[in-house]
Amino acid sequence: MSKKKPNVLDGFKAFLMRGNVVDLAVAVVIGAAFTNIVNSVVKGVINPLVGAIGTKNLDSYSSCLKDPCKVAADGTVQSGIPIMWGTVLGATLSFVITAAVVYFLMVLPMSKYLARQEARRKAKEGTHEIIEVTELEVLKEIRDALVAQRGSGHDER
């Protein structure tokens, strides 16, 4: 008898049906929607705050490594070597805001919730252990009392 070779399509179907692939797909979709929120916060809140000091558009902050620096409106470099540090600053702010929101709104509450669940589980286990120890001690006392009664009963005969 010969074993049937695993079908590539069956393997692919099994891969897609695993739970972690579906979870990953959901995470990507939620992440994309979350990115829009973060970008809106950066453009609507952070950039105006920076604009109070300088300009509202962080992309306009740059330094020139080799003069003369000329950048077209579409972002293409026409001459010189510009260092676009404002763009990097904007991306860094977006990352920090995203990380902070994810941490404070998702990771921290979830870790506190899991810690509470673990404490409840340990408290339940501790209660069961105390009850079991107490029952064991009571049973030992009963045994000792019965042994003592038998011992004293044998002496009376």
Binning pLDDT at 50, 70 and 90, where does residue 4 land? low
Which 8-state DSSP code applies to residue 5?
P
Task: Say whether the peptide bond before residue 68 is cis (omega within 30 degrees of 0).
Answer: yes
Query: Phi and psi of 29, rounded to 5°?
Result: -65, -45
- The winner for highest mean pLDDT among 42-51, 84-93, 106-115 is 106-115
- Rounded Cα gap, residues 152 and 157, in angstroms: 9
Here the tokens at position 40 are: 């809106």
pLDDT of res. 42: 74
Q: Which among 20, 23, 22, 45 is positioned nearest to 101, based on CA atoms?
A: 45
- Rounded Cα gap, residues 54 and 58, in angstroms: 9
pLDDT of res. 56: 64
Which 8-state DSSP code applies to residue 105?
I
pLDDT tens across 6-65, in order? Answer: 788 888 887 777 767 777 888 888 888 888 887 787 778 877 777 777 666 677 777 887
Residue 91 near residue 75 (C-beta atoms within 8 A): no
Binning pLDDT at 50, 70 and 90, where does residue 157 land? very low
On the question of pLDDT at 1 being above 60, the answer is no
- Rounded Cα gap, residues 123 and 79, in angstroms: 70
pLDDT tens across 112-148, in order? Answer: 999 999 998 888 887 776 776 778 888 888 999 999 9
On the question of pLDDT at 106 being above 70, the answer is yes
The residue length of the chain stands at 157
pTM: 0.49
